């Protein structure tokens, strides 16, 4: 008589882009043998991933060493290849993905993404004079050294994340909303945990490298805007394929406030209006604040064996996937791919019978 194999109980902590991508990748390959639950403290509409513009444009944010940079580069590249595959299959519009040109104003003589140039499909450097001719009405800061017109992807979170959540449920996954995990021991009944807890990893994984980077944006309806513009995190215009435009912003390290700063809003909107005066007539959709979960040195994506129980020698397998900072949408397919690889290795080494 044949025996039915016990299903592997998988808990995924976090329902942002990293958590949902990890759950999706695991279920795509193992839906017949896993019982997967996404556990999230916040509703799906309240995650930092929803606040984000969904930009893929590699940049340096992590103070990472050379080895880490090479790994981060591979994650960026994997996400780019995935986005390009959606375009090739004609699925980009359904997923909220658009291929954009992004004008980046550089205040240093060295480009902010020099180490990633070989994975950016397209880039043209422009002098300040050439940039001024493109935007004769704009007040370009005297600090700007040059500009780059580069290829970028923008994936709209309010389209992509609901699609991914729906696919997870179709494949048999479940979602537990409103539960905060304070210790891995709370999940000891699971066989393996995928930790995509963003800023909560600071306490949950005891990771002092985690730093909140506060971001604030204003989402407007402006379907006539097609080119993204970014000087730095203090002002940017990022259009999506759905006719909405994300206007921002800020990069406030260590600030964990979720309150909208209306004085800050006035400052970044005035900068955005200099480049695109027509945005003054755009319909306001929503002001949003999120905390980018930055990990100094780069995202943590690795298998960890965590002891659970004061009097227990049981070790709970935990695959970490957190610390993406402002690049969650640029790295998510790459890091979730590594999660899938680690999960497959664990399945081989620790088979569930």
- Phi/psi-derived region of residue 37, left when phi > 0, alpha when psi is between -120 and 50, beta in every other case: beta
Cis amide prior to 249 (ω within 30 degrees): yes
In three state form, how does the secondary structure of 94-132 look? Answer: HHCEEEEEEEEEECCCCCCCHHHHHHCCCEEEECHHHHH
Q: How many residues are there in the chain?
A: 353
For every one of its 353 residues, what pLDDT tens digit does the chain have, with 9 covering 90 and above? 345 668 999 999 999 999 999 999 999 999 999 999 999 999 888 899 999 999 999 987 788 888 999 999 999 999 999 999 999 999 999 999 999 999 999 887 766 667 788 898 888 999 999 999 988 988 888 889 999 999 999 999 999 999 999 999 999 999 999 999 999 999 999 999 999 999 999 999 999 999 999 999 999 999 999 999 988 778 999 999 999 999 999 999 999 999 999 999 999 999 999 899 999 999 999 999 999 999 999 999 999 999 887 666 789 999 999 999 999 999 999 999 999 999 999 999 876 66
Report DSSP letters for 225-276, one per residue: --SEEEEETTEEEEE-TTSEEEEE---EET----S--HHHHHHHHHHHHHH-
> CB–CB of 15/160 below 8 Å?
no
242-246 long-range Cβ contacts below 8 angstroms, 24+ apart: 242/96, 242/156, 242/158, 242/159, 244/156, 244/219, 244/220, 244/285, 245/219, 245/220, 245/221, 245/279, 245/282, 246/53, 246/217, 246/218, 246/219
| Backbone φ, ψ for residue 283 (5° rounding) | -75, 130
Tell which phi-psi region holds residue 106, choosing left (phi > 0), alpha (psi between -120 and 50) or beta: beta
Q: How far is CA 206 from CA 16, 39, 225, 307, in A?
A: 20, 19, 43, 14
């Amino acid at each position: 008589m044949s025996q039915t194999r016990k299903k592997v109980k998988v808990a995924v902590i976090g329902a942002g882009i990293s958590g949902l991508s990890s759950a999706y990748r695991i279920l795509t390959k193992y839906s017949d043998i896993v019982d997967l639950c996404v556990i999230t403290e916040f509703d799906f509409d309240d995650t930092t991933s929803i606040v984000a513009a969904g930009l893929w444009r590699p940049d340096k944010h992590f103070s990472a060493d050379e080895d880490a940079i090479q790994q981060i580069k591979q994650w960026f590249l994997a996400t780019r290849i995935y986005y390009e595959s959606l375009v090739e299959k004609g699925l980009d519009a359904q997923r909220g993905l658009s291929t954009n040109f992004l004008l980046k104003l550089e205040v240093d003589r060295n480009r902010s993404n020099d180490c990633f140039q070989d994975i950016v499909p397209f880039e043209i450097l422009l002098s300040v004079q050439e940039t001024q001719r493109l935007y004769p009405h704009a007040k370009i800061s005297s600090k700007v050294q040059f500009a780059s017109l580069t290829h970028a992807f923008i994936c709209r979170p309010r389209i992509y994340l609901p699609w991914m959540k729906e696919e997870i449920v179709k494949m048999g996954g479940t979602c537990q909303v409103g539960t905060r995990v304070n210790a891995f021991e709370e999940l000891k009944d699971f066989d393996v945990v995928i930790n995509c807890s963003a800023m909560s990893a600071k306490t949950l994984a005891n990771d002092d490298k985690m730093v909140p980077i506060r971001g604030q944006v204003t989402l407007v309806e402006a379907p006539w805007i097609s080119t993204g513009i970014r000087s730095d995190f203090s002002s940017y215009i990022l259009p999506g394929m759905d006719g909405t435009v994300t206007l921002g912003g800020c990069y406030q390290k260590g600030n964990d406030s979720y309150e909208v700063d209306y004085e800050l809003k006035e400052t970044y909107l005035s900068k955005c209006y200099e480049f695109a005066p027509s945005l003054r007539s755009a319909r306001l959709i929503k002001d949003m604040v999120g905390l980018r979960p930055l990990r100094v040195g780069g995202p943590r994506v690795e298998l960890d064996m965590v002891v659970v129980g004061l009097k227990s020698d049981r070790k709970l397998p935990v695959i970490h996937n957190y610390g993406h900072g402002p690049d969650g949408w640029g790295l998510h397919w790459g890091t979730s791919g590594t999660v899938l690889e680690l999960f497959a290795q664990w399945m081989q080494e620790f088979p569930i019978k």
